[in-house]
Structure 1
Amino acid sequence: MSALPQLSSLSAPLRRALPVLAIAGAALLSACSIPLPESRQNLSSDASRDTPAPPEARADNAFPAAPGISEAQSFRGVLPCADCAGQRVTLTLLPDQTWRLRRVYFGTPSGKDLSFTARGTWERSGERGRQLRLIGDANEGGLYEFTSTSQLRLLDLAGRPITSSLNYTLTQLPEADLIPELRK
Structure 2
Amino acid sequence: MKKTLLALVVAGFVLAGCDQQAAPESPSQTETETAAVVEHQAQADDASVTEVPVTLPEVDQPEVTQPIADSAHSARNALDWDGTYTGILPCADCEGIKTELIVKKDGTFILTEVYLGKEGNAFEYEGSFNWNTAGNTIALPGAGDGAVQYFVGENQLFRLDREGNRVEGDLASHYVLRKQ
1:73-104, Cα deviation, whole Å (9 max, x unpaired)? 11111001111100010000112211101101
Residue matched to 1:123:
130
Aligned partner (choices 56, 61, 77) of residue 66 of structure 1:
77
Per-residue deviation at 1:113? Answer: 6.1
TM-score w.r.t. structure 2 length?
Answer: 0.55
Residue matched to 1:156:
161
**Residue 146 of structure 2 contacts residue 162 of structure 2 at CA under 8 Å; is this kept in 1?**
no
Matched, 1:107 2:113: no
CA RMSD of aligned residues (A): 3.7
Aligned partner (choices 147, 151, 159) of residue 145 of structure 1:
151
SS at match of 1:66: helix
The gaps in structure 1 that reach 5 residues or longer are 1-33, 50-56, 174-184
Matched, 1:89 2:99: yes
Residue matched to 1:171:
178
Residue matched to 2:56:
none
**Residue 147 of structure 2 contacts residue 162 of structure 2 at CA under 8 Å; is this kept in 1?**
no
Matched, 1:133 2:139: yes
Residue identity opposite 2:139 in structure 1: R
Work out the CA distance in 2 between the residues paired with 1:75 and 1:170.
Answer: 5
Instruction: Tell which structure's C-alpha radius of gyration is larger.
Output: 2
**Residue 107 of structure 1 contacts residue 113 of structure 1 at CA under 8 Å; is this kept in 2?**
no
TM-score w.r.t. structure 1 length?
Answer: 0.54
Residue identity opposite 1:116 in structure 2: F
Work out the CA distance in 1 between the residues paired with 2:130 and 2:165.
Answer: 17
The gaps in structure 2 that reach 5 residues or longer are 1-23, 29-59
Post-superposition, which runs of at least 4 consecutive aligned residues in structure 1 deviate over 2 A? 34-41, 61-65, 67-70, 137-141
Work out the CA distance in 1 between the residues paired with 2:142 and 2:160.
Answer: 16
Residue identity opposite 2:122 in structure 1: S
1:7-56, Cα deviation, whole Å (9 max, x unpaired)? xxxxxxxxxxxxxxxxxxxxxxxxxxx967896451x34xx89xxxxxxx
SS at match of 2:77: coil
